[in-house]
Amino acid sequence: MKSAVVLVPGLNRDRDMIAALTKVSGQAPATLWQTETTLPEGLDLIVIPGGFSFGDYLRCGAIAARMPVMRAVADAAKRGVTVLGVCNGFQILVEAGMLPGALMRNTSLKFVCREVKLQVTNANTAFTRQYQPNQIIRCPVAHHDGNYFAEPEELERLEGEGRVVFRYAENTNPNGSINDIAGIMNASGNVLGLMPHPENLIESAHGGDDGRGIFESVLAKAA
Amino acid sequence: MIKARVTVTLKNGVLDPQGKAIEGALGTLGFEGVSGVRQGKVFDVEINGTDKAKAEADIKQMCERLLANTVIENYSISMD
Amino acid sequence: MIKARVTVTLKNGVLDPQGKAIEGALGTLGFEGVSGVRQGKVFDVEINGTDKAKAEADIKQMCERLLANTVIENYSISMD
Amino acid sequence: MISNDLAITSDLVASHGLKPDEYQRILDLIGREPSFTELGIFSAMWNEHCSYKSSKKWLRTLPTTGPQVIQGPGENAGVVDIGDGDVVVFKMESHNHPSYIEPYQGAATGVGGILRDVFTMGARPIAAMNALRFGAPDHPKTKHLVSGVVAGVGGYGNAFGVPTVGGEVNFDARYNGNCLVNAFAAGLAKSDGIFLSEAKGVGLPVVYLGAKTGRDGVGGATMASAEFDEKIEEKRPTVQVGDPFTEKCLLEACLELMASGAVIAIQDMGAAGLTCSAVEMGAKGDLGIELDLDKVPVREDAMSAYEMMLSESQERMLMVLKPEKEAEAEAIFVKWGLDFAIVGKTTDDLRFRVLHQGVEVANLPIKDLGDQAPEYDRPHVEPKKPAPLAANDIPQADIADALLKLLNSPDMSSRRWVYEQYDTLIQGNSLQRPGGDAGVVRVEGHASKALAFSSDVTPRYCEADPFEGGKQAVAECWRNITATGALPLASTDNLNFGNPEKPEIMGQLVSAIKGIGEACRALDFPIVSGNVSLYNETNGQAILPTPTIGGVGLLKDWDRMARIAFSGENQPILLVGAPQQWGTHLGQSVYLRDIHGRNDGPPPPVDLEAELKVGIFVRGLIERGVAKSVHDLSDGGLAVGLAEMAMASGIGATVPGLADIDPIPVFFGEDQNRYLVALDLDAQGSEFEALLREAEAAGIFAPWIGTTGGTDLKLGQARAVPVADLVNAHESWFPAFMEG
Ligand SMILES: Nc1ncnc2c1ncn2[C@@H]1O[C@H](COP(=O)(O)OP(=O)(O)O)[C@@H](O)[C@H]1O
Ligand SMILES: [Mg+2]
């Protein structure tokens, strides 16, 4: 699998993501600095990792979404390249208009870092094939603004089209997100944003590998 | 130099967790009869030049392209 | 019902990392001649009753006790 | 703008915290009256915070060397060898006064400062801890301080991207007027990639990098050394605001710059920013420094030389760069969006010269600024030893009720409310997150190595007996690290005390340092860095003496690591290192304080020889793979220790207790050098037998006190308590306090 990780100042889970992609695919991803306007040929996957791009100033992901590299990522997505945004990456995808809705401040108004349960609501996607439908997996979260919001019509569309891919399960919603939404995808099914951090749960040192399935699914698709 | 203030507020109907929490906290502090608390942002900016109309048009562009998320937010501009 | 808007801004001289980052981003987006960007907050509140003077006094208390961090922020109140 | 020619009156001198004899010393040194800027420079360099004038004499007595120590005190952080060419770089520092005034920003900039100390040395930060002390929970300011400080620690560390793996939180009315925020950070580097502050070479550019200079914290270092009084409000405008985003960019830029070979010397700007950093770089390298303030990037208009020299704006660095690498360096600064400027040069005249708007505003002997700082042997009185409790003075309580009450108390309850606001797993290497004995982080790029971190001190012990309390802080830190299976390598200390000009307070400081020194020597746990925070007093009321110890240990193979959770049912539990009656010492215990409202008696003494012996034995069990579940005993004794192991695992235990012995000291005594070890062995088997004999042969009392299993904790004759009830008591205090 040929993958690439987007780098914007303030992102800080880039190293975690690069390590996870390397361990799962056996190949280190390329990196894409914020100013780049052309992408390497033949990419199967572009990942926007978590962190605090531009300090989360203004709105989470707002400034990063307007950096040149994101135009190239949007073009690649239009051509069908698989794009995954995790945490701040999800916020950036939303701010870039590549996913609908908005991610608001957690209802507790506090940063929250803990493990939650996720339901794989749609196991028939490029990102979730390795899971069973409605399987419950463990996954850590670490964010301040993960409270997903969408207008009622938009929400209906997301739910109706099976584009809510992950949901917080067993009363573990950590942020007040509407319909317990933890991850959604675009209409073509090649762009996924999710708040939790699967890259931090892929090996025994992490205390489990429930997050691996996402990377393995994408890998299987690429193969 | 032209000074302007941009005010960005959440659209009606958009959930405002911060406003809600603040309303709750005001109640806890004993302030009664407070409702509808909504939190927004202001930006003070200074623009080179003296052409107010141009400055206002520029600031409108800044709002559309960066300062406001027009999916969930409204903005208004006031000039000195 | 009385409607009021509280505007909270950083005191002069207090570092505003957000303002700084936004100014940088505006530059990257090609807006020229923008400087002195400072970010603040607004709170819209509704107060029961009709006594404006009392409402204003109450809101002042809310600012002192919760809405503003008077160590580093100033506030101003405007009523409808 | 205040002119540099401002008349130097005795009031002005006094308002700079300089005593008349100290001012006389300045006059003697430079042979003339200082300018206003020079007075500011002296006040910054000679205040307690930078000069350690009250503590230096005693700090010198601490052990700071060992084969593992690469760099001891004297640089931004200590450096310790962990093999394979890797080193760990760490330090702890206080931000007490700023956090009391503005808790969020005070704590945030405290974290920022300590991270900078670590990466200035060339290390990438991999772990952070924070040791916090607040006033009584019912004091009107406490909640506000807790929520602000915790949010600030998280706000900075999370955005910067370092996992927070440990810390402490205590409440006591003695901190009502002065909270304590001690921040620890550790980073990883290669032994040949360490950077120091010593400038080398004449005529080389001195480069400023990072954020712009504002008026933040002008007078801040002076404030940190001043006792609070009612006029605290007036000191407010000196608050510094942290910008973790710029710090993260600064980290990446510095590491890239160091890798490029451009850096000769580097020093972060901390307290008294430009002044301290420039003087230190020059003085260490036996060079003069000339600064041109017109080149300094500023964010405010009309800043005077005085303000620029004393500004504590955050996220700034000073370096000496190789001139031929200038273009390469500049490209890195630009990439990371950082301000930079050549603000001066090194000279050969040993003068510290500052130019502003064409005028020389300061011209001082650079070495004297540090070397000639006053040093005091302040009068101190030996603290009185408290009388022991009478042998029959054992106030009674129901064991189960007392345990539940302790678990639900401010000091003993779960800190989950706090640490869930911290990113504890970023970087993907956290093997043990907060909640256990020590935080453990895997060493990236190595198959099996990991580092363990703990921060400890028991202030009520230090108040009762600073010498024993100092020993105990070191021993507990060492023990917590040992309990994971790691070998404790070295430590850092953060000495928080009241006003050293009072002989009783100075007596506490001196005794605590003696105790710390003795324990560090006995346990081969040298102090490689640290910080002193004095004058933690308000209206004459001092804090409890709080010498925080931060320690680092090395696990050779994290596959052989112990955790506090029971690892299975039907495992025999040993109480390793216990006295014959399992527990005896109630003086200064939380049982006496929180159940009976008493704080008398001496603290438990630490037998350092036994501590070492027991620790080595326990580590041996972990390394052999028979002990996966280990917990040291501290506050709350055996009962609380067992409860914590049960709660962490959801597995109960039955501990029958001793016949004919009062169960209160058995279960709540706080005797030192004890561990609970649950063995992955059959209690009927020969291996278990052999292990017990081994302990005996080593002269270690390690009775088999009970067995894991079930869903209740059964202590002696007391009623069985469901583990779920323990968890409920333990988890509910903090959220109820903060959200109630
Ligand atoms: N209590 C202490 N024990 C040992 N070393 C100390 C202690 N306090 C300070 N030091 C050392 O003195 C030096 C100066 O400390 P400090 O001024 O706090 O450092 P920085 O300038 O990096 O903030 C450092 O090397 C520090 O490690
Ligand atoms: Mg412990």
Q: What is the CATH number of the domain that holds D683?
A: 3.90.650.10
Helix ranges (DSSP H) in D161-272: 220-224, 244-259
**pLDDT exceeds 70 at position D225:** no
Confidence of residue D234 (pLDDT cuts 50, 70, 90): very low
pLDDT per residue as tens, chain C (80 positions):
999 999 999 998 888 999 999 999 999 999 999 999 999 999 999 999 999 999 999 999 999 999 999 888 999 999 97
Whether D580 and D683 share a structural domain: yes
List beta partners, residue D69.
Answer: D80
Whether D345 and D318 share a structural domain: yes
Nearest to A197 by CA among D486, D268, D424, D79: D424
Rank D272-276, D337-341, D396-400, D444-448 by mean pLDDT and report only the highest.
D396-400
ipTM value: 0.92
Whether D231 and D166 share a structural domain: no
Nearest to D50 by CA among D268, D276, D219, D274: D276
* Contact state of A58 with C29 under an 8 Å Cβ cutoff: no
- Ramachandran region of residue D184, left (φ > 0), alpha (ψ -120 to 50) or beta? beta
**pLDDT exceeds 60 at position D74:** yes
Confidence of residue D418 (pLDDT cuts 50, 70, 90): very high
Cα–ligand 2 centroid distance for D631 (angstroms):
6
pLDDT digits (tens, 9 = 90+) for D101-151: 999 999 999 999 999 999 999 999 999 999 999 999 999 999 999 999 999
Confidence of residue D200 (pLDDT cuts 50, 70, 90): very high
Nearest to A201 by CA among A215, A220, A222: A215
Interhelix angle D244-259/D326-335, rounded to 10 degrees, is 150
Q: Is C29 on the interface with B (CB under 8 A)?
A: yes
Ligand 1 atom at minimal distance to the Cα of residue D75: 25
Phi, psi of A40 (to 5 degrees): -60, 155
What rounded mean pLDDT belongs to chain D? Answer: 94
pLDDT digits (tens, 9 = 90+) for D283-310: 999 999 999 999 999 988 888 999 999 9
Tell me how far the alpha carbon of residue D104 is from its chain's centroid.
18
Q: Look at residue D378 and tell me if it is in a domain.
A: no
Q: Please identify which of the residues A60, A143, A144, A197 carries the catalytic annotation.
A: A197
Residue listed under structure tokens 């040298």: D526
Nearest to D562 by CA among D701, D685, D739, D438: D438
Q: Look at residue D172 and tell me if it is in a domain.
A: yes
How close D225 comes to chain C (CA, Å)?
20
**pLDDT exceeds 60 at position D355:** yes
Q: Look at residue D643 and tell me if it is in a domain.
A: yes
Helix ranges (DSSP H) in chain A: 14-25, 62-65, 68-78, 88-95, 152-160, 212-222
The answer, yes or no, to whether any atom of ligand 1 lies below 6 A from the CB of D110, is no
| Range of the structural domain that residue D613 is part of | 399-427+562-740
Note whether D312 and D220 are within 8 A (CB).
yes
Q: CA-CA distance, D164 to D147, in Å (whole number)?
A: 17
pLDDT digits (tens, 9 = 90+) for D524-541: 999 999 999 999 999 999
Whether D512 and D491 share a structural domain: yes
Ligand 1 atom at minimal distance to the Cα of residue D268: 22
* Contact state of C13 with D241 under an 8 Å Cβ cutoff: no
Whether D114 and D19 share a structural domain: no
SS3 state at D626: coil
Longest dimension (CA), chain D: 86
Q: What is the CATH number of the domain that holds D448?
A: 3.30.1330.10
Name the burial class of residue D384, with classes exposed (0-12), middle (13-18) and buried (19+) by CB atoms within 10 angstroms of its CB.
Answer: exposed
- CB contacts under 8 A, D 47-106 vs C, are 101-102, 104-105
For residue B11, the chain A residue with the least C-alpha distance is A151
Whether D341 and D213 share a structural domain: yes
Minimum-distance CB partner of A63 among C17, C25, C39: C25
**pLDDT exceeds 80 at position D255:** yes
Q: Is C26 on the interface with B (CB under 8 A)?
A: yes
Tell me how far the alpha carbon of residue B58 is from its chain's centroid.
17
Minimum-distance CB partner of C38 among B36, B44, B58: B44
Interhelix angle D103-120/D244-259, rounded to 10 degrees, is 0
Nearest ligand, measured from the Cα of D509: 1
Residues of D involved in catalysis = 49, 95
Question: Which chain C positions have a beta carbon within 8 Å of D240's beta carbon?
Answer: 15
Whether D330 and D232 share a structural domain: yes
- CB contacts under 8 A, A 17-56 vs D, are 19-20, 51-52, 54-56
Note whether D716 and D399 are within 8 A (CB).
yes
Q: CA-CA distance, A78 to C77, in Å (whole number)?
A: 48
pLDDT digits (tens, 9 = 90+) for D164-173: 999 999 999 9
- Ramachandran region of residue D721, left (φ > 0), alpha (ψ -120 to 50) or beta? beta
Least confident of A68-72, B70-74, D59-63: B70-74
User: Residues 6 or more apart from D613 whose CB is under 8 A from it?
Assistant: D698, D699, D700
pLDDT score at D238: 67
The closest residue, in CA terms, to atom 14 on ligand 1 is D74
Tell me how far the alpha carbon of residue D579 is from its chain's centroid.
31
How close C42 comes to chain A (CA, Å)?
14
Confidence of residue D726 (pLDDT cuts 50, 70, 90): very high
Mutate to test the interface with B, among A103, A104, A110, A179 (most CBs of B within 10 A): A104
How close C72 comes to chain B (CA, Å)?
16
**pLDDT exceeds 60 at position D231:** no
Instruction: Give the residue from D526, D560, D594 where a domain finishes.
Output: D560
Q: Look at residue D301 and tell me if it is in a domain.
A: yes
The closest residue, in CA terms, to atom 20 on ligand 1 is D76
Q: Look at residue D388 and tell me if it is in a domain.
A: no
Residues of D comprising the binding site for Mg(2+)?
A: 93, 117, 268, 531
Amino acid identity of residue C80, one-letter, is: D
Q: Which of D118, D529, D552 is the pocket-test mutation for ligand 1 (most atoms within 8 Å of CB)?
A: D529
Cα–ligand 1 centroid distance for D280 (angstroms):
13
Instruction: Give the residue from D358, D373, D388 where a domain finishes.
Output: D373
Instruction: Give the residue from D560, D589, D621 where a domain finishes.
Output: D560
Name the burial class of residue D269, with classes exposed (0-12), middle (13-18) and buried (19+) by CB atoms within 10 angstroms of its CB.
Answer: buried
List beta partners, residue A140.
Answer: A115
* Contact state of C29 with A66 under an 8 Å Cβ cutoff: yes
* Contact state of D239 with C24 under an 8 Å Cβ cutoff: no
Question: Which chain C positions have a beta carbon within 8 Å of A58's beta carbon?
Answer: 18, 21-22, 25, 39
Q: Look at residue D386 and tell me if it is in a domain.
A: no
Q: Look at residue D660 and tell me if it is in a domain.
A: yes
Which DSSP string do the residues of D559-605 spell out, in sequence order? TS--BSS--SSS-EEEEET--TTS----TT-HIIIIIH----SPPPP
The answer, yes or no, to whether any atom of ligand 1 lies below 6 A from the CB of D97, is no
Name the burial class of residue D737, with classes exposed (0-12), middle (13-18) and buried (19+) by CB atoms within 10 angstroms of its CB.
Answer: middle
Residues of D comprising the binding site?
A: 52, 91, 93-97, 116-117, 240, 268, 312-314, 493, 530-531, 533
Whether D467 and D455 share a structural domain: yes
Whether D120 and D144 share a structural domain: yes
Cα distances from D115 to residues A101, D156, D268, D534, in angstroms, run 36, 10, 10, 22
What is residue A71's DSSP assignment? Answer: H
Domain total of chain D? 3
For residue A170, give the H/E element and its range.
none
What average pLDDT does the segment D457-461 reach? 98
**pLDDT exceeds 90 at position D629:** yes
Mutate to test the interface with A, among D126, D153, D425, D444 (most CBs of A within 10 A): D425
SS3 state at D685: coil
pTM for the predicted model, two decimal places = 0.94
pLDDT score at D222: 46
SS3 state at D275: helix
Ligand 1 atom at minimal distance to the Cα of residue D64: 4
Q: Look at residue D520 and tell me if it is in a domain.
A: yes
Q: CA-CA distance, D387 to D393, in Å (whole number)?
A: 13
Q: CA-CA distance, A116 to A127, in Å (whole number)?
A: 19
Tokens found for residue A210: 């429930």
Q: Is B77 on the interface with C (CB under 8 A)?
A: no
Whether D23 and D101 share a structural domain: no
SS3 state at D210: strand
Q: CA-CA distance, B21 to D82, in Å (whole number)?
A: 48
Whether D355 and D240 share a structural domain: yes
| Residue ranges, chain A, pLDDT below 70 | 223
For residue A86, give the H/E element and its range.
strand A82-86
pLDDT score at D224: 45
Whether D243 and D349 share a structural domain: yes
Give the start-end residues of each E strand in D394-466.
430-432, 439-442, 450-456
What average pLDDT does the segment D490-500 reach? 98
Confidence of residue D700 (pLDDT cuts 50, 70, 90): very high
pLDDT score at D1: 65
